[in-house]
A = this chain, B = another copy of it.
Amino acid sequence: MGNVRVTVVDIAKAAGVSKSTVSLVLQGSPLVNEATRAKVTAVMRELGYVYNRGAANLRQSGANSKIIGVVVNDLTNGFFAELAVGVDMVVQSAGFVQFLANTSENLDRQREVIASMREHGISGLIVSPARGTKASDLKPLVAAGIPVVVAVRQVPGAKVSSIVSDNHDGLFAAVRHLVALGHRRIAFLGGFRDTAVFMERLQGYRDAMAGCDLTPDEALVIDAGPSRAGGFDAIGRALALADPPTAAVCFNDAVAFGACDGLRAAGIEPGKNFALIGFDDVIEAKTAVPALTTISVDPQGMGRRAAQLLLKQISAGKPEAEAIVASVRLVVRESCGAPARPETAQAPQAG
């Protein structure tokens, strides 16, 4: 019943005006008389009219579908969920609607969802790319004039805007903190060497070590999966060294948790006999035992900024690429063995 769609001409007929006038009302044009506008809107409400954006889109250049595509590589990871929420906030309040897809770090899936989004005529795309994403994956988008913002991870060679956290700075700060606590043998654990994020963090580690006049020892750089299992593995290898470290900075919090497990398995108590610092400040970092000292990035704020950046590009029309580096901060908790101090206040918005 009532399955028949009510269109703009139905409204026009019922209100005694032309469809053009109704269209004008729809887009809030100042050309239409107030009385007419009132009548038309009344009729629209009465008949239960719903706007057909697809049809509108067809006629218009197609660029303004009011849809923003958001692609994340792992939605079950709280970090990316927060990111998506941040994007959603600003995107919604700008009258857009978010099209969110999860790729589970799968390149084929990512290609599919991006293609699907194109078919639906997104006005812009924010993507936290799956590992191994190439510039060529984003090429068609930019060729079609669709603004793209990559977040969290860079895509080398892609001529698109980006927002990433300050990986170098984060590791730098972590290492200096450990040095200040008296550590000399500091390892860098976890992460894949073939990623840009890894290399940036590694560089931060190296620069900090060098800046503190510590002899760099490449044996202390132990790559492994950026996961709990990887952390467990990495710390095991670190402890097996002839001259083992007394502290470690980890690629991310998951690695740090795995390292905790590994330390305990070796009879070492993290935060007491060994100092550990993570990266990300995931939600569990605060409540874990010991509470994890880590580099905090504000994922929701990052999402908001990514969205703002994208909207700016959409309205500007010209896709001038811009690169943002979101600042991070060290949150000192227990795992680094520092004397307990009150936790620093809630993060101001990054940047």
Query: Residues of A with Cβ closer than 8 Å to B?
Result: 1-3, 5, 48, 50-55, 57-58, 62, 65, 67, 75-76, 78, 81-82, 84-85, 88, 92, 97-102, 109, 112-113, 115-121, 140, 143-145, 257, 283-284, 287-289, 300
B58 touches A54 (CB 8 A): yes
List B contacts of A48 (CB < 8 A): 140
List B contacts of A102 (CB < 8 A): 84-85, 88
Contact of A50 among B119, B257, B283 (CB under 8 A): B119
Residue of B nearest to A289 (CB): B289
Beyond the given A52-B121, A289-B289, please list 5 additional residue pairs across the A-B interface where CB-CB is below 8 A.
A54-B62, A76-B85, A78-B78, A97-B113, A98-B99
Whole-angstrom CA separation of A203 from B81 in the bound complex: 34
B120 touches A54 (CB 8 A): yes
Q: This chain: how many copies in the complex?
A: 2
A3 touches B101 (CB 8 A): no
CB pairs A–B below 8 angstroms (6 shown): A1-B143, A67-B120, A76-B81, A78-B78, A97-B99, A98-B99
Minimum-distance CB pairs A-B, first 6: A100-B100, A54-B54, A81-B81, A53-B119, A97-B116, A51-B119
Residue of B nearest to A100 (CB): B100
Given contacts A52-B119, A54-B121, is CB(A3)–CB(B100) below 8 Å? no
List B contacts of A121 (CB < 8 A): 52-54
Contact of A75 among B84, B92, B117, B287 (CB under 8 A): B84
Q: In the complex, what's the smallest C-beta–C-beta distance from A121 to chain B, in angstroms?
A: 6
Residue of B nearest to A104 (CB): B85
A109 touches B92 (CB 8 A): yes
List B contacts of A98 (CB < 8 A): 99-101
Whole-angstrom CA separation of A57 from B143 in the bound complex: 25
List B contacts of A3 (CB < 8 A): 144-145
Whole-angstrom CA separation of A102 from B97 in the bound complex: 11
Which of A109, A120, A283, A300 gathers most chain B CB within 10 Å?
A120
List B contacts of A62 (CB < 8 A): 5, 52, 54
List B contacts of A144 (CB < 8 A): 2-3, 50
B100 touches A120 (CB 8 A): no
Residue of B nearest to A77 (CB): B81
Which of A2, A54, A65, A112 gathers most chain B CB within 10 Å?
A54
B76 touches A88 (CB 8 A): no
Whole-angstrom CA separation of A144 from B113 in the bound complex: 28
List B contacts of A54 (CB < 8 A): 53-55, 57-58, 62, 65, 120-121
List B contacts of A99 (CB < 8 A): 97-100
List B contacts of A2 (CB < 8 A): 143-144
Q: In the complex, what's the smallest C-beta–C-beta distance from A62 to chain B, in angstroms?
A: 7
List B contacts of A109 (CB < 8 A): 92
Contact of A58 among B58, B65, B78, B92 (CB under 8 A): B58
List B contacts of A287 (CB < 8 A): 257, 284, 287-288
B85 touches A75 (CB 8 A): yes
List B contacts of A257 (CB < 8 A): 287
List B contacts of A97 (CB < 8 A): 99, 101, 113, 116-117, 120
